[in-house]
């Protein structure tokens, strides 16, 4: 017989596995529903236990009931945290795909047409979507939001790597006139539209 929190633990393991994958595994709809049902059942049990006390329950007077309530509350809290962690991990992965320019919805459509090859997001059997309907809607809206945000900065590639360059010399693209800039190798004219080779430092 499964114990309280076992299903939530499975979700947490799925989230951990997702972090180490390049693609997004299928959405665990049945498991999510099972964890949600467990939370609701526990909440109903708590309500039933407290009903005879009419809002005047004293834990010191009934240790057995107090212990049961504590276990139920902790189980509900843990299940909710597992649900949040699972969905947060998946949304982080989806946002990463969008920032990297991956057309997530197009890949899902290819899967449903039977043409998916697991390049970025894989589904079960290659014919079913690995995203829930809510995730597909989230990706669509997040993509629109990102496009609107990037539209304000047409000269800057916001999807570029955030890692600083480690090469000895780097190519700097000038986006705004800054006049002459003094470097350890002399003066450099920073004129809009030009490129300069600069030393990255030691």
- 3-state SS track over 52-121: HHCCCCCCCCCHHHHHHHHHHHHHHHHHHHHHHHHHHHHHHHHHHHHHCCCCHHHHHHHHHCCCCCCCCE
Domain residue ranges in the chain:
6-150, 169-199
Of 90, 101, 79, nearest in space to 17 by CA: 90
Say how far apart CA 135 and CA 132 lie, in whole Å.
5
Q: What is the C-alpha to C-alpha distance for residues 55 and 46, in angstroms, rounded to an integer? A: 12
The encoded tokens of residue 120 equal: 């970025």
* Contact call for residues 108 and 138 (beta carbons, < 8 A): no
pLDDT tens, N- to C-terminus, the chain (202 residues): 567 788 999 999 999 999 988 788 889 999 999 999 999 999 999 999 988 888 888 888 889 999 999 999 999 999 999 999 999 999 999 998 888 887 877 766 665 565 444 433 444 444 457 888 999 899 999 989 988 888 777 677 776 677 777 777 777 777 777 777 777 777 777 666 666 555 554 4
Supply the pLDDT for residue 195.
62
The CATH number of the structural domain formed by 6-150 is 1.20.58.1030
């Amino acid at each position: 017989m499964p114990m309280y929190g076992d299903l939530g633990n499975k979700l947490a393991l799925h989230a951990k596995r997702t972090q180490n994958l390049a693609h997004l595994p299928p959405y665990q709809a049945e498991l999510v529903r099972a964890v949600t049902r467990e939370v609701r059942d526990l909440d109903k049990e708590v309500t039933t236990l407290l009903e005879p006390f009419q809002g005047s329950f004293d834990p010191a007077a009934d240790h057995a009931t107090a212990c049961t309530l504590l276990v139920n509350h902790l189980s509900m809290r843990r299940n909710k945290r597992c649900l949040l962690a699972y969905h947060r991990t998946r949304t982080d992965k989806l946002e990463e795909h969008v920032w990297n320019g991956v057309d997530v919805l197009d890949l899902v459509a290819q899967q449903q047409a039977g043409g998916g090859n697991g390049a970025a997001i894989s589904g079960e059997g290659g014919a079913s979507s690995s995203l829930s309907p809510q995730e597909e809607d989230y990706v669509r809206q997040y993509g629109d939001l990102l496009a609107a945000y990037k539209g304000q900065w047409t000269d800057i590639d916001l999807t570029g790597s955030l890692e600083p360059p480690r090469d000895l010399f780097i190519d700097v693209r000038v986006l705004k006139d800054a006049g002459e800039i003094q470097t350890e190798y002399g003066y450099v004219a920073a004129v809009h539209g030009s490129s300069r080779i600069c030393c990255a430092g030691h």
